Amino acid sequence: MPVVLVLLVTVPLVPALVALSGRTRATEAVSVVTGVASLGLAVALVPAVVDGPVRFGFLRADAVSVVFLLGTAFLYAAATVYSVGYLASERDDPGFVRYARRFYLGLNLFAWSMMCAPLMDGLALLWIAIEITTVVSALLVALDDTDNAAEAAWKYVLLASAGLGIGLLATIVMYYAGSTVLGGSYDLAFAPLLSAGGALPHTAVQLAFVLAVIGFGTKVGLFPVHTWLPDAHSEAPTPVSAMLSGSLLAVSFYAVLRYYQIAVATLGPTFPRTVLLVFGVLSLLLAALYLLEQRDLKRLLAYSSVEHMGILAIGIGLGAPLAVAGVLLHVIVHAAAKGNAFFGAGVLVRKYGTKDTGTIRSCLDTLPWTAPLFLLAILALSAMPPFGLFRSEFQIVAGGLAAAHNTVTVVLVVLVTVAFLGLSVATTRMLFTPGAAGSTVPSRGEPSAWMVAPMLAGLVVLVVLGIHPPADLADLLTRGVAELGGGT
């Protein structure tokens, strides 16, 4: 299994190098093969980490890291397939080769950095990996070279850099806390910090945890440091938007979870869970209210991502084993559902030439495949059965009630329902409302089969994980709950 860790952090560099050659067809093929291979490698780690972490040098995989790796690898594979169709219509443009070179170079490096982050054995290395995701993704947000894209990228860089500066301070404070027990020469690896948790100074660990939630929470999109997210996700190329929403936010939340583990080991569960509940409820409240009035299709989905990150924070804050298992499952199914939603939105924007939900009409008549798949993705994001997000959110709610967190659980259900209303109203108008008299309706047909195929794959994942998750995945989630101290 150590060889799998090495391959996961090296294989995505191959298509990035091929992209530099400017040979677009070869880059597309290598990217698709690499994306699918990365997903296979991530799946291969599932049974291996159930019995304990797998290590190789500075690489480490345990159940929690593999959960986040699965979501990233699936979206990487789906995005590479989707990108073939996404770029096809621009192939005859004069600057296409240059654009495609930068697109595939950035896309593959972005996926590489997000797969590296969960495999880093140490808080310092984890911070470096997440910093790399910021640099690469900011360049991708500005890739379309419009004024709005440049403004969104600049805003993203400013806020994310400030947040990661706070995250670096959290790393330094945690290093100080560890040095009081482990000495000044330790390397911030997870295992020594966790084993020394009971002896670490409480004030320093409290400070480090709060700084980590604020700092890395900037990349997660937690309130009040979420303001970059709607702009960046709206202006980035669609495959990048899918990876930003479905993977980058979750990987940043993974960093928060590592600090959470240490905080629980040192302080007990009450303080870190309370902090996460506060940030989670406020994030969910903000997202639910914004979803009611959003007219930009991609911004609508971006605020949905804020909603789901709030749900993750609340689920961990509830602390019950069932709720924590729901959070880990939610990471995977949210990646599939949000990928499908952005992929569908990309087709709608390409077909209608606008992101305005007030202008897009009669999609079911125009897009026979994408429109139903987009509708199913929205239903999945709204936690409708039989999709995986219904199972994960049901587990979070059931866990909250079992742990007697009745008020927070009721607030969660109410706000998720409000968010559902916002998503469903906008989607119903776009798909079922006929165009205005005299308006021009695009011709019937899909832009590319390459853009539909990954949505079909995502739908299969959502249904399978909603009805009956595989036994190996269930074992992985159970192990992940134990690693996060569920129920302690």
Mean pLDDT of 51-66: 93
Mean pLDDT of 246-267: 96
Do 48 and 189 lie in one domain? The reply is no
Q: 233 or 6, which is more confident? A: 6
Residue 63 has pLDDT above 90, yes or no: yes
Q: What's the token pair of residue 90?
A: 């621009």
Q: What is the pTM of this model?
A: 0.96
> By the 8 A CB rule, do 16 and 104 touch?
yes
**Residue numbers of the domain that contains 386:** 269-488
pLDDT the model gives residue 488? 44
Do 9 and 102 lie in one domain? The reply is yes
Do 338 and 482 lie in one domain? The reply is yes
pLDDT the model gives residue 367? 93
Do 336 and 461 lie in one domain? The reply is yes
Do 338 and 397 lie in one domain? The reply is yes
| Residue 29: exposure state from Cβ atoms within 10 A (0-12, 13-18, ≥19) | middle
Residue 287 has pLDDT above 70, yes or no: yes
pLDDT the model gives residue 487? 47
253-102-107 Cα angle (round to 5): 30
**Tell me: the pLDDT tens digits for 390-416?**
999 999 999 999 998 999 999 999 999
Do 41 and 179 lie in one domain? The reply is no
Do 314 and 437 lie in one domain? The reply is yes
pLDDT the model gives residue 174? 95
Mean pLDDT of 101-110: 96
**Tell me: the pLDDT tens digits for 82-99?**
999 999 888 878 888 999
Residue 293 has pLDDT above 90, yes or no: no
Do 383 and 443 lie in one domain? The reply is yes
Do 340 and 468 lie in one domain? The reply is yes
For a pLDDT cut of 90, what percent of the chain falls above it? 80
φ and ψ at residue 384, rounded to 5 degrees:
-85, 140
Split at pLDDT 50, 70, 90, the class of 385 is very high
φ and ψ at residue 205, rounded to 5 degrees:
-70, -40
Split at pLDDT 50, 70, 90, the class of 436 is low
| Lowest mean pLDDT across 49-63, 232-246, 303-317, 351-365 | 351-365
Do 156 and 262 lie in one domain? The reply is yes
Number of domains the chain is built from: 3
β-sheet bridge partners, residue 61 = 54
Do 106 and 144 lie in one domain? The reply is no
